[in-house]
């Protein structure tokens, strides 16, 4: 089945088994998803990877999305196509390649595990508090904290280890003939 959000267009049934929706929560759909096709926006990329779902990235060349698409491909968790020129046949071939080659899903699950081990918002707040507490106050000010406390954590948890690179896909991974993003 294909599920897509349609913005202001009328939701309902699309062609074949496609479903058109105004909005779908990542948390509701990603646990049941085999592949995400996305413009490579931060929210959908991180949500898909947090659920271990590989991606086909079609970045908008005028935004920061090409950098994310490049990382998706570099980490072996998806395929980046040229967002402004990829055809439906190119997209279908990329989806087929992701489904056919289990290394993409395996790498996405590995990254999901690493994401789940991160300290989350409370860890980020503790790091920011530690940074703010170590900054020098502006001239003429007391040593009062620069930021109010936003976490009950007295100390920051240890930061997660850097992610280790995953196996890069080989030239034989079934993606020959797909258009690559222009660099």
pLDDT value, residue 166: 41
* Cα–Cα dist 158/109, whole Å: 23
Give the pLDDT of residue 137: 56
| pLDDT the model gives residue 121 | 87
pLDDT of residue 61: 86
Q: Which residues of the chain have pLDDT under 50?
A: 146-174, 176, 183
Please name the CATH architecture into which domain 2-134 falls: 3-Layer(aba) Sandwich (3.40)
Return the pLDDT at 162. Answer: 45
Q: What is the pLDDT of residue 154?
A: 42
pTM of this structure? 0.66
* Per-residue confidence (pLDDT) for residue 169, from 0 to 100: 43
Provide the pLDDT for residue 4: 63
Q: pLDDT tens digits, residue range 3-20?
A: 666 566 666 666 677 777
Output the pLDDT for position 152. 39
Based on the number of CB atoms within 10 Å of its own CB, is 103 exposed (0-12), middle (13-18) or buried (19 or more)? middle
HEC sequence for 82-103: CCCCCCHHHHHHHHHHHHHCHH
Q: What is the pLDDT of residue 181?
A: 55
pLDDT at 135: 62
């Amino acid at each position: 089945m294909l599920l897509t959000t349609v913005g202001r267009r009328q939701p309902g049934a699309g062609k074949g088994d496609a479903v058109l929706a105004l909005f779908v929560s990542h948390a509701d759909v990603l646990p049941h998803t085999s592949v995400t096709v996305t413009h490579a926006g931060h929210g959908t990329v991180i949500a898909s990877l947090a659920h271990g779902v590989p991606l086909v990235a079609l970045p908008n060349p005028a935004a920061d999305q090409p950098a994310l698409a490049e990382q998706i491909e570099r980490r072996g968790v998806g395929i980046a196509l040229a967002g402004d020129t990829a055809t439906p046949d190119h997209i279908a071939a990329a989806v087929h390649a992701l489904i056919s080659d289990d290394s993409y899903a395996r790498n996405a699950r590995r990254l999901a595990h690493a994401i789940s081990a991160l300290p989350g918002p409370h860890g980020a707040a503790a790091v920011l508090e530690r940074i703010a507490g170590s900054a020098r106050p502006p001239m003429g000010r007391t040593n009062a904290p620069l930021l109010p406390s936003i976490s009950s954590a007295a100390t920051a948890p240890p930061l997660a280890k850097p992610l280790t690179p995953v196996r890069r896909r080989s030239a034989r991974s079934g993606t020959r003939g797909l258009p690559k993003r222009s660099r």
